[in-house]
Amino acid sequence: MTQPPFDSSGYSAPSKPPPGYPPPAYTARPMTADDERTVGMLAHLVPLIAMVFSGGLLGFVASLVIYLVYKDRGPFVRENAVNSLNVQIITGIMLVISVVLMLVLIGFVTYPLALLFAFVVHIIGAMKANRGEWWKPPMTPRFVH
């Protein structure tokens, strides 16, 4: 038994969305200064917590998600998300180098030092973001702008 072919002659697409739905070209509205400070602080704390619970491996994912979600919501939150992502990138590089250096045993010292560096920088970044201060992390190149 075969189905008859689809007949689209009686079908017409709606010209505008039904009431109660956002328009198709939805753009995120800018955040208030307090919201930017809060999300800027979370841009450092969420990767810090993810990094602690994963041994340094998931902090990058958390920073990347926060950056992608909030990068267009305001300049202060973007700067803190970029700082957090750059800290996680340099930490990831240090962790990869440390794993290689574990072959000569020095990596067992440098791996926790890399995590400690990221931990301290994220704490300082979270405190400065909470106070609304602009800040660039020390010893962290700008991979993402």
Where is 40: in which H helix or E strand? Answer: helix 33-54
Report residue 50 as tokens. 């993810």
Picking from 142, 57, 69, 120, the residue whose alpha carbon sits closest to that of residue 94 is 57
d(CA 22, CA 60): 32
Burial of residue 36 (CB within 10 Å: 0-12, 13-18, 19+) is buried
| Cα(75)–Cα(97) distance, integer angstroms | 33
**Could you state, in order of their start, the residue ranges of all structural domains in the chain?**
33-131
Q: Can you tell me the distance from the alpha carbon of 74 to that of 111, in angstroms, rounded to the nearest whole number? A: 34
Task: Render each residue's pLDDT in the chain as its tens digit; 145 residues.
Answer: 565 554 545 555 556 666 776 666 656 677 889 999 999 999 999 999 999 898 878 999 999 999 999 999 999 999 999 999 999 999 999 999 999 999 999 999 999 999 999 999 999 999 999 999 999 999 999 999 8
CA–CA dist 128, 41 (Å, integer): 8
